[in-house]
Structure 1
Amino acid sequence: MRSPAAEFWAGARDVFPLIVGAIPFGLIFGTLGISSGLSMGGTLGLSAIVFAGSSQFIAVSMIAAGSGGLLVVLTTFIVNLRHLLYSVALVPYVKHLPQSWKLPIGFFLTDESFAIAIRRYEERDRSSFKHWYYLGAALAMYSNWQFSTILGIAVGQMIPDATSWGLDFAMSVTFIGMIIPYVKTKPMGIAILVAGSVALMAYSLPHKLGLMVAAIAGISAGVYSERIIHG
Structure 2
Amino acid sequence: MLTKKQLFTRGMLDISPHMLSVIPFGIICGAIGVELGFDPLLVYAMSIIIFGGASQIVFLQLLSGGASGLVAATSVGVINSRHLLYGAVLSEYLEKLSLIKKLLISYIIVDQGFAESNKFFKKNKSEQYLHYHLIGTGCTMWVCWQIATLSGIILGSFVPEELGLKFAIPLTFIAIVIQDLKKLDHLIVMIVCGLSSLLFYDAPFRSYIIISPILALLVAALILRLKK
Find the counterpart in structure 2 of residue 143 from structure 1: 143
Instruction: List aligned pairs for 1:208-219, cutoff 5 A.
Output: 208-219=206-217
For the residues of structure 2 that align with 1:124 and 1:3, how far apart are their CA atoms? 13
TM-superposed deviation, 1:185: 4.7
For the residues of structure 1 that align with 2:62 and 2:105, how far apart are their CA atoms? 28
TM-superposed deviation, 1:184: 6.4
Structure 1 contact 187–223 (Cα < 8 Å) conserved:
no
The residue identity in structure 2 corresponding to 1:176 is I
Deviates more, 1:149-158 or 1:198-207: 198-207
Find the counterpart in structure 2 of residue 179 from structure 1: 177
Q: TM-score, normalised by structure 1?
A: 0.91
TM-superposed deviation, 1:105: 1.2
Find the counterpart in structure 1 of residue 166 from structure 2: 168
Q: TM-score, normalised by structure 2?
A: 0.92
Structure 1 contact 202–210 (Cα < 8 Å) conserved:
yes
SS of structure 2 residue aligned to 1:37:
coil
Structure 1 contact 28–168 (Cα < 8 Å) conserved:
yes
The residue identity in structure 1 corresponding to 2:84 is L
TM-superposed deviation, 1:206: 4.8
For the residues of structure 1 that align with 2:100 and 2:85, how far apart are their CA atoms? 22
Residues 1:64 and 1:165: Cα distance change in structure 2 (over 3 Å): farther
Q: Deviations over 1:39-80 (max 9, x none)?
A: 111000111110011110000001111211111111100111
Deviates more, 1:89-98 or 1:188-197: 188-197
- Is 1:25 aligned with 2:25? yes
Structure 2 contact 8–133 (Cα < 8 Å) conserved:
yes
Structure 1 contact 115–178 (Cα < 8 Å) conserved:
yes
Deviates more, 1:128-137 or 1:210-219: 210-219
Q: Deviations over 1:156-203 (max 9, x none)?
A: 11235x4x6532322312312211334565432211111112223333
The residue identity in structure 2 corresponding to 1:216 is I
Q: Deviations over 1:117-172 (max 9, x none)?
A: 11111113522121111111100000011000000011111235x4x653232231
Find the counterpart in structure 1 of residue 46 from structure 2: 46
Structure 1 contact 90–118 (Cα < 8 Å) conserved:
yes
Q: What RMSD, in angstroms, separates the aligned Cα atoms of the two structures?
A: 1.8
Instruction: List aligned pairs for 1:8-19, cutoff 5 A.
Output: 8-19=8-19
In structure 2, the gaps of 5 or more residues are none
For the residues of structure 1 that align with 2:113 and 2:219, how far apart are their CA atoms? 25
Residues 1:3 and 1:203: Cα distance change in structure 2 (over 3 Å): same
Deviates more, 1:44-53 or 1:95-104: 95-104
SS of structure 1 residue aligned to 2:13:
helix
Match of 1:200 among 194, 198, 201: 198
Paired positions, count: 228
Residues 1:3 and 1:28: Cα distance change in structure 2 (over 3 Å): same
Percent of aligned pairs with the same amino acid: 28
Find the counterpart in structure 2 of residue 223 from structure 1: 221
